[in-house]
Structure 1
Amino acid sequence: MSDLAARPVESGGSRESGGSRESGGPREPGGSGEPDECHESDGSGEPSGSDESGEPGGSAAPGGTGRRGPLLLVVGLAGFVTTLDNTVVTVALPTLQAELGASLAVLEWVVTGYVLTFSGLMLAGGRLADVYGRRRILVTGLAVFTAASLAAGLAGSAGALVAARLVQGCGAALILPAMLAVVAVAGGGRERSAGVAVWMASGAAALALGPVVGGYLAQHAHWSWIFLLNVPLGVLCVALAMAAVPESRDGTAARVDVPGVAASIAVLSAGTFGLTFAAELGWTSPVILAALAVSVVSAAAFAVVERLGRDPMVDLALFRARAFTGGVIAQVLWGLGVNGVFFFTALFLQGVLGFSPTASGLAFVPLALLVAVVTPLVPLAERRLGAARTVALGLVLVAGGMVAVAFLRAGDGWAELLPAVCVIGIGSALTMPLGSAVLGAVPEGRAGVAGGVFSVAREMSGLFGIAVIGVIVNGAASFTVGYSTGLLTAAGLVAAGAAVSLVTLR
């Protein structure tokens, strides 16, 4: 992987040295937070824009060669634990129900509470990172997440566990956009690609290992270790982040856009709640209709506030950058397809193919291993093919693997499943330049918001995908037919993402 070497601040940037601020080059007009221009990126270019580094003594923004390994370790560990907590709890729910005497409704909140605050606060977390400092918000998020994990492990009641999970999500909502912002300003295109590669590989590993780890700990140890496992990892992350992550912030941001933050939280929290509970309560339920109405109205208010505000949280001018907008759209299409069917895959493996719970969990391990093995090689493909064709090829492979799974039937086993899983794994790794292209298409001062937008696109599209594919599955004559139809629909969405990538990431 490329070295996250120290780079001098470009002319036109700004940084703080010993408490004084030196500035030069173009500034954002009127202090409005609006970039002079949004530069497109092919995934390998330098991000542009004004940024401050809070390094003492005026050290260059983003870090020296000695920090490379620890910085990547922070990215990997932070990405791993935040993704793991999305999947690790599910298989332990029966144990939690028995030991805590929790009802099914409360158990749902153990899972969805984390997702609700994680998705709802992520965009706000990105802007806080830009304004108050990416390392500061990253460390704060890690500390909150670690403390909440300890509280969850020590919880003596279901209510206390739900409360701890809600706080865990708050911490994760600070961690992810701040971490991506750190990656975005870590140097040039190669350094950014290395950070994104580590984040993707760690996320894939957590996605595959979550059910396995959760099931093993619940069966052979105690359910509390599902959460207590995060504590030493979180403490290590905090220490490494303090030592290895250089401070940086948006040098032009004077304040936080409070109305924009409030509107974004309302949009995402209400939308997440509606999409999560629609299948259980029904799309026509007054509670769901009210939640979705709040989300829509808040979205309209958010657009107005961001357009008229002097220092908007999400500068709408960012979407003029073709690579940024195209990358976000491609991410949404990927999330709609892949995350939408992932939710139903374990049911398909066990109920149709006859896999045991352990075997169905292990079915995802080859995918994670291939992502981890292939991802370091992706920069070579990117340099030869370019970001657009590399990402498009990856999405086409993912879509092809999904089509292959759609034609599996009862009686098929590992021999029929494994080739499709491997194709999906290789394709997923090849999509790595997508995140790098999106982060590289915006000014450095907006890196936190860009990471927040990209992360929100990933999370919310996944929830919407589950809802859409769920309608298809539940409306079919049988689960097998519904799952196959859902897979083919999802494959079409992912293929559309390949077309968008090919056009916009050039």
Structure 2
Amino acid sequence: MHRTDGDGAHPQRWWMLGILSLALFAIVLNNGLLNVAVPVLMRDLGADIGQAQWIVDSYALAFAGVLLTAGAVADRFGRKRATLCGAAVFGAGSLVALGADSPGQLMAARVVMGLGAAFIMPGTLAIIVDVFPETERARAIGMWSGVSALGVAAGPVVGGALVGHFWWGSIFLVNLVPVAVVLVGGALLLRESADRAPRPPDPVGALLGTAAMAGLVYGVIQTSGHALTSLPVAGGLAVAAAAGTGFMAWERRHPHPMLDTDLLRRPAFIGASASILLLMLGLAGTLFVLTQRLQFVLGYSPLRSGLAVMPVALAVVLGTLLCPALDRRAGARGCVAVGLSAAACGVLVLGQWGEGYPPVFAGLVLIGVGFGLSMAPTTHVVMSLVPPERSGSTASLDMTMQELGTALGVAVVGSVLAGRYADAVAGVSGAVGDTLYETLRAAELTGGEAGHTLAATARQAFDDASAAGLGVAAAAVACGAVVAALLLPGRAGTKVAEAAVAPSAAGPRETEPSPAHQGSARP
């Protein structure tokens, strides 16, 4: 038996939050850790832009594809057990990635890491919901969301520092320290919890859902080198449509579905999930393009590129601190709509910048503040729609939308970048392959005025293609702002304010029971 405070809360809950936040930071960090290493991977592993997209996306796709199943398994067999097993698998995948010597091996290792991360993610949020009393829960979720946001923003910074000082494999070596701390600290501190009435596994639903997401991402990535009517594109999208339709039909008939279809009738859930998916799409696509643009066009080193992106991480913290005050005045609807609008403006600034770093800094600050304003309210809205015993599966669904957005961001924006660049250099004499790296190598070997002209032409083409990709990312985030303004609950419907970062000295708050259940904050 675990001791509890007088209000039923676990006395070590804040230490637990620290362990869970470290686990979360490690797995979210790996979404963007590879971005600054893409040029180096192209050189060392001979990867083209499509393979680079898959190396980045294989992690997010495996992550998203297994999350719903992982949440159900965690609810059934125990959140602590699922979290620790996931950490072990994640660490094992990192070790495999260290020794990869081909794009295929690295993709496979990233898939293993994604599978491990899928079992860590829902457990972290579900354990928080279980051990924190309702008076502190929103504050804990706010801190958890802040760590998640910081992990996304810090990925390029940490990756740039590691690649700049060591070799590209060091970005996987850094995972081993948090994994060790989580395994030891989690085994000693975390409390086991599970659903009192767990659902049986749904392997058919899991396969259909994963096939739908994989087909969608595959089809989108293939658009960079094939016509929309080609077999790779049309086939991938057809698989996604068929599997997605089958998934929804199966889940509606299944007596114990892995997807709570009732949530799909709740405007608040749809608004929160769609807005965060579109935000992650824009953010992931932006960082994928920006880190390459800084290195290929401006000539930054990986380390300098990571440092150049650092303002977004600091701005995320600022946005998280501003979130409670804005939420008090405008509710989740206003807070998220303002956040996504700011982020869309930031991406647009990055897409239109000419020369110099100041516009990059301004765009990154806008993106980071917008991200920090949006994460906690959307997460709290989703988690407050269900009772605590269903928190694992619901957290999985929320994270699935985030990871699917990440995978689509790299696929969509990266494909626009690759397609526009290939079109621009198709008729340029001396251009080689479908990547800027290959053409720059050809220009270096050519030398003289001809080589200089070829390099300048290729860099300009890449710059223009980057602007087109960032324009698509900005449009996606702007659509998310519209969705948030239309569907999220307004000022009277959310209690994220004060709880996200306010000190506990503010005292307990009374929350109105949710229409969905008694004992959860109203979204």
TM range (shorter): 0.7 to 0.9
Aligned to 2:392: 448
| Mean CA deviation greater in 270-279 or 122-131 | 270-279
Q: Decide whether the 8 Å contact of 1:336 with 1:493 is kept in 2.
A: no
Q: Decide whether the 8 Å contact of 1:72 with 1:195 is kept in 2.
A: yes
Aligned to 2:437: none
Report the CA distance between 1:484 and its aligned residue. Answer: 6.2
Report the CA distance between 1:188 and its aligned residue. Answer: 4.8
> What TM-score do the two structures reach when normalised by structure 1?
0.77
Output the amino acid matched with 1:479. Answer: A
Aligned to 2:442: none
Report the CA distance between 1:269 and its aligned residue. Answer: 2.9
Aligned to 2:79: 134
1:226-237 map, 5 Å: 226-237=171-182
Aligned to 2:366: 423
Q: Choose the corresponding residue for 1:202, options 139, 147, 152.
A: 147
Q: Decide whether the 8 Å contact of 1:71 with 1:241 is kept in 2.
A: yes
1:109-188 map, 5 Å: 109-155=54-100, 160-188=105-133
Q: 1:282 to 1:243 in 2, by over 3 A?
A: farther
Aligned equivalents of 1:81 and 1:185: distance in 2?
22
1:44-63 map, 5 Å: 56=1
Aligned to 2:250: 305
Q: Choose the corresponding residue for 2:402, options 445, 458, 465.
A: 458
Aligned to 2:310: 365
Q: Decide whether the 8 Å contact of 2:208 with 2:246 is kept in 1.
A: yes
Output the amino acid matched with 1:368. Answer: A
Aligned equivalents of 1:64 and 1:188: distance in 2?
6
Aligned equivalents of 1:242 and 1:325: distance in 2?
36
Report the CA distance between 1:251 and its aligned residue. Answer: 1.6
Aligned equivalents of 1:248 and 1:435: distance in 2?
21
Q: 1:485 to 1:390 in 2, by over 3 A?
A: closer
Output the amino acid matched with 2:315. Answer: L
Q: Structure 1: which 5+ runs fail to align?
A: 1-55
Aligned to 1:257: 202
Q: Decide whether the 8 Å contact of 1:120 with 1:272 is kept in 2.
A: no
> What TM-score do the two structures reach when normalised by structure 2?
0.75
Q: Structure 2: which 5+ runs fail to align?
A: 425-463, 494-523
Aligned to 1:411: 355
When the two chains are superposed, the root-mean-square deviation of aligned CA atoms in Å is: 3.4
Output the amino acid matched with 1:262. Answer: L
**When the two structures are aligned, how many residues end up with a matched partner?**
448
Output the amino acid matched with 1:116. Answer: L
Q: Decide whether the 8 Å contact of 1:86 with 1:115 is kept in 2.
A: yes
Percent identity reads 32
Q: 1:385 to 1:211 in 2, by over 3 A?
A: closer
Q: 1:214 to 1:58 in 2, by over 3 A?
A: closer
Aligned equivalents of 2:66 and 2:182: distance in 1?
21
The residue matched to 1:70 in structure 2 has which SS?
helix
Aligned to 2:482: 496
Q: Choose the corresponding residue for 1:382, options 327, 352, 361.
A: 327
Q: Decide whether the 8 Å contact of 2:75 with 2:194 is kept in 1.
A: yes
Q: Decide whether the 8 Å contact of 1:134 with 1:247 is kept in 2.
A: yes
Q: 1:283 to 1:171 in 2, by over 3 A?
A: farther
Q: 1:271 to 1:503 in 2, by over 3 A?
A: same
The residue matched to 1:323 in structure 2 has which SS?
helix
Q: Choose the corresponding residue for 1:346, options 282, 291, 302.
A: 291
Output the amino acid matched with 1:127. Answer: A
Aligned equivalents of 2:218 and 2:90: distance in 1?
21
Report the CA distance between 1:412 and its aligned residue. Answer: 4.1
Offset from partner CA, 1:43-86 (integer Å, 9 cap, x none): xxxxxxxxxxxxx4797999845323322222321222112222
Offset from partner CA, 1:370-417 (integer Å, 9 cap, x none): 222442453344345433332233223223333444443x23432x33
Aligned to 1:296: 241
Aligned equivalents of 1:338 and 1:314: distance in 2?
26
Report the CA distance between 1:369 and its aligned residue. Answer: 1.2
Aligned to 2:347: 402
Report the CA distance between 1:151 and its aligned residue. Answer: 2.8
Output the amino acid matched with 1:489. Answer: A
Q: Decide whether the 8 Å contact of 2:149 with 2:371 is kept in 1.
A: no
Output the amino acid matched with 1:441. Answer: L
Aligned equivalents of 2:264 and 2:103: distance in 1?
43
Q: 1:275 to 1:238 in 2, by over 3 A?
A: farther
Report the CA distance between 1:285 and its aligned residue. Answer: 3.6
1:64-143 map, 5 Å: 64-93=9-38, 104=48, 109-143=54-88
Q: Decide whether the 8 Å contact of 1:393 with 1:498 is kept in 2.
A: no
Q: Would you say 1:325 and 2:270 are equivalent positions?
A: yes
Report the CA distance between 1:435 and its aligned residue. Answer: 0.8
The residue matched to 2:12 in structure 1 has which SS?
helix
| Mean CA deviation greater in 458-467 or 166-175 | 458-467
Offset from partner CA, 1:337-380 (integer Å, 9 cap, x none): 33343432334545667766544332321121122244245334
Report the CA distance between 1:485 and its aligned residue. Answer: 3.9
Aligned equivalents of 2:109 and 2:260: distance in 1?
33
Q: Decide whether the 8 Å contact of 1:71 with 1:244 is kept in 2.
A: yes
Report the CA distance between 1:453 and its aligned residue. Answer: 1.7
Output the amino acid matched with 2:361. Answer: L
Report the CA distance between 1:490 and its aligned residue. Answer: 3.5
Aligned equivalents of 2:263 and 2:285: distance in 1?
28
Aligned equivalents of 1:180 and 1:345: distance in 2?
31
Q: 1:159 to 1:329 in 2, by over 3 A?
A: closer
The residue matched to 1:371 in structure 2 has which SS?
helix
